[in-house]
Chains A and B, each alone.
Chain A
Amino acid sequence: MSSGVDVKRGGVFTARARGAYRPVMRAVCGAVALGLVGAPTAIAQQAEDAGPRVRGEQLYRSDCALCHGESGEGRPPTFPALSGNPALEDLSHVVIRIWEGQGTMPPFPDLSTEEVSAVAGYVRNAWENDFGPVSSEEAAAALAGLAEAGSRTSVWDGVFTASQAERGQTVYPGACGTCHGRRLNGAPDDPDMVSTPPLARAKFLRTWEGRSLAALFEYTRATMPENNPGSLTDEEYIDVIAHMLSVSGIPTGDDALEPDPHSLARVVIERRPQEEAEGAAGG
């Protein structure tokens, strides 16, 4: 299990870890705010050893609530409600869906079997739900035979190419720039439009830290552009993401990002390169 990510989750933003999170940066006009839900960094380390339900709720809030809502209400029809959803009855369906993803749902191959069972158990019994617990053994059985995920990388490991970022730069102005601004800082050029979440640099990385590029890709594809979600090609979406990473100061590499949720699920968004983070943690 990727302990490096979890260490950072617990160590960086103590103010939020105290549970002080509130979705205050909500964009108006019905905007879908990328910053709406607290980053995974909101999750406190200290509760990790607590029972599966506590751990499941932590994981739910960090990895699931962005789309499915703090109270499992979802955002139908784009993101289904989990509260009262009869599809949760099928235990193996839930477990496999979390691990492998499907449709708009990104895969979460970083989760251990225990974590999958914890979050599956949480959603099956939170709110109004009463579908029964999920043991690690049941989760392991459901996941048996599924392909092992590849190794985890960071966005700082040269995961996109310069030419890909350049292609994204040409897509960005018309598709995204009207609302997110030509500097990607969430400041629209039209002064009558309200601010939006930044799509690059420190604030953006902070918001998405700990999530995978698959989550960013699927979320973007499902919700943006706000007036016509899904209207870009998959290649355009992933190229724009490369542009966002590039503007954030993240170095390019030799291979382009592919619009494939399974490979993107292995690339984790981090605020800064691992060596810097370790240096900071040590200091």
Chain B
Amino acid sequence: MDRGRDDTSADHQSGNESQFSRRDFVRIGTVAGAGSTALLQACATRPLEPATGVEDSGWDYEADVVIAGAGCAGLTAAIRARDLGATVLVVDQNFDVGGRMLHSGSFLSLGGGDPIQLRDMKGESDPEGFVTVPPAEDPEELDDNPDLLFTDITDWSIVDRKAQSPYRYNEPELMRAWADNCPATRQFLMDNYVRFSRISGTHGGGGLSRARGALCFLMLGDRTDMKAGTVTLEDAGMADPERTSPFAPVQMFDASRAVGPNAVGNGVALSRPLEFSAREKGVEFMLHRRFEEIVREQPFSGRVVGIRARYSPRRHPETDEVMQSHWRNGNIDEQREVVNIRARKAVILASGGHAGNPEVRSMFYPAMREPAFPTSGSALLGPHGQDATALIAGLRVGANLAGMQQNLSYSTTFHISTRLGTRDAYTGMMPGHPTFGFRGSAGINVGRAGFEEFIVVNQVGKRFFNEIRLPQRPGLNRYPGDGGAPNRGLDHVPLDWRNCRKEWIREMYDYDHGLDAALALNEGSEPPHYYSGPLWAIFDQDTIERTGWELRFPYVADNGYFFQADTIERLAAKIEAGHEFQRVPLKYLAETVATWNGYVESGSDPEFEREVDGLMNPIATPPFYALSVMVVWHDSYGGLRVNGSQQVVDMQGQPIPGLYAGGEAVGGFNKHGLGKAHVHGYIAGTYAAADSAEGRA
């Protein structure tokens, strides 16, 4: 078997969804070796082919500000630049707008004394009166300012429960700009139909010292109306517990405790309002179009004057028709293979990170070259999601990188998911969204407690770690004692050596390296890549009786991520025959199960000491089951280096004129999720709209 063994590039991942030729590069005429490693030497003024909208050059389109990526950074930048008078064209490789913002939980940690912090401090409601529950945090826990926020996110001393310091390596200028622009960004989002719940805690690395995290909500209503802030039960994906909608890739959840009755939340309540506002304001979108190259006047000098983008049609998994975005006003229908788009003022790269590109992510962890493990949202985003386009294109015009080692420092970069039985193990997408067919199953989220119920084996059928400890994720940053975080008290000292002295680390260290055991070399690892292979949870019928797991569609399906057989030997054979990345036989599986059953009998697991952590149950009652266990690499914390204006900086430390970047395309900022990218987009949109060949206004 040779499946998935050699092709690890993003192009391989694309499968049937992307079949493009290289001939259009050649037509530009100046490319030295048109392969993916060639440096782009395009001349912006050379005629290419008949232009459709631009008179005198090879440009096919032009706009003041051209943005690659319609996710949280790109969409925010687009609206901001449009507000400031620029014409804006956004390209995105997907068929719909929103990127991973759309499937997110919408927890948005900003801070610095932002309008929602102030609102909750005063105990006020929102202007529409939707927020009826009292604030969750005490006023002193919300008392924030940009200086405090800046101190938090550049604190060299604070460590997480893996003893890593996530903020130590942050780029100071980027952090200062972010802290300063948090309040304005919160207001900006609210001005564009985004509604925020009460703040509760802080989310994913936006500093610990104050409560900063609110989530976004809509109200259930009889129509879906972003201006009114309402969504129907059907559009919210909540009418049927096992079905979602094209509007909401992931079912919205009950947000009543953080807002009031009938409030529902998740990334849909953030992404759709912003998209609606962008379209209303005249932002144009060219979907199914993957940004590929930056066009600069000279390879390593001069202004960035545009981008080149390639047709990347996303076809419906069942009908094979090109899928359509939920809203279409402002869409440009363009099907030529390659188009050149001129940016009169600036280009903003907001096309995401590199978590979906095994070759790039292997720069930081060679074991992550394993293609069996995709990034989050692989069904929603398709093969080009998070494929490192911005990083690769940026390098070709001389950009520097930042924070690459920061990939290794937080629980959302990569971890073992507790959602089993699906390749796309990050979200619980249900049928009803058109991309569900790309995953085939929602998976079943068993939580950490579920890992007490089975054994986990590697690609040769051997156990490799104490299963109960396998899905552990490193805990968040922690000041000594119980101080320094909302609801734990605010008694802490930033920038203090006691925050990282070994006595404190010994006390609070709490991480088992099961993830690394899962990615380790094993008997099935073969040169040249030494892939570790897929992981399988193995259990029996009694497990089902104990847990109540419902092993049926849509949770599992006959899609290569769930197997059932009457004997262990047959189960092993089915996995080998039916899973795309199972390259070797699970030759030890039957022996492993027999050994395990002996351990259960004796009450002792000498290999991994399972008896210490929980009950041990035999795997003896047929039928026997196997569910895939996935490693999910979600975030990218390394990426293009930018300055405080979100301008991309080159290897000489100089800003590249006309080129901006934000979100996960950018490195040097350890913060999970939305709060980072929206502020980046706000800053980039602000400066890009004022940029020109004569320099920034």
Contact = CB atoms under 8 A, between A and B. Distances in A.
Interface of A: 13-15, 20, 22, 24-26, 28-30, 35, 173-175, 177-178, 181-183, 185-187, 189-198, 201-203, 206, 225-228, 231
Interface string B195-230: 000001101100000000000000000000000000
A173 B204 contact: no
B672 A197 contact: no
B547 A187 contact: no
A232 B15 CA distance: 51
Nearest to B201: A227
Contacts of B376: 191
A181 B256 contact: no
B10 to A, nearest CB: 23
B435 interface: no
Interface stretch (B308-316, B398-406, B443-451): B443-451
Contact of A181 (B417, B447, B475): B447
Interface in B660-690: 672-673
B596 to A, nearest CB: 15
6 contacts: A15-B603, A28-B476, A185-B446, A191-B376, A194-B475, A206-B615
A227 B449 contact: no
Interface of B: 105, 107, 136-137, 161, 200-201, 203-204, 241, 250-251, 253-258, 266, 376, 411-412, 417-419, 426-428, 445-450, 452, 468-469, 471, 473-476, 482, 485, 487-488, 510, 546-548, 603, 611-616, 632, 634, 672-673
B257 A225 contact: yes
Nearest to B250: A189
Given A13-B615, A227-B201, A185 B257 contact: no
A30 B615 contact: no
B204 A192 contact: yes
Nearest to A229: B487
Contacts, number: 128
Where chain B touches its partner, the secondary structure class is loop
A173 B447 CA distance: 17
Nearest to A25: B448
Nearest to A29: B476
B510 A26 contact: yes
Nearest to B265: A178
A174 B252 CA distance: 12
Given A192-B204, A193-B105, A187 B446 contact: yes
Contacts of A195: 418, 447-449, 471
A177 B253 contact: yes
Top 4 nearest A-B pairs (CB, nearest first) are: A187-B447, A28-B475, A195-B448, A190-B105
A185 to B, nearest CB: 5
A114 to B, nearest CB: 32
B427 A191 contact: yes
A186 B107 contact: no
A201 B446 contact: no
A190 B485 contact: no
A5 B588 CA distance: 43
Interface centre among A15, A26, A193 (most CB of B within 10 A): A15
Nearest to B428: A189
Given A25-B613, A194-B475, A197-B449, 17 more contacts: A15-B612, A24-B468, A25-B448, A25-B468, A30-B487, A178-B254, A185-B450, A189-B445, A190-B266, A191-B417, A191-B634, A192-B673, A194-B448, A195-B449, A202-B546, A227-B201, A228-B200
Given A13-B615, A14-B603, A187-B447, A227 B136 contact: yes
B450 A187 contact: yes
B263 to A, nearest CB: 8
Contacts of A190: 105, 107, 253, 266
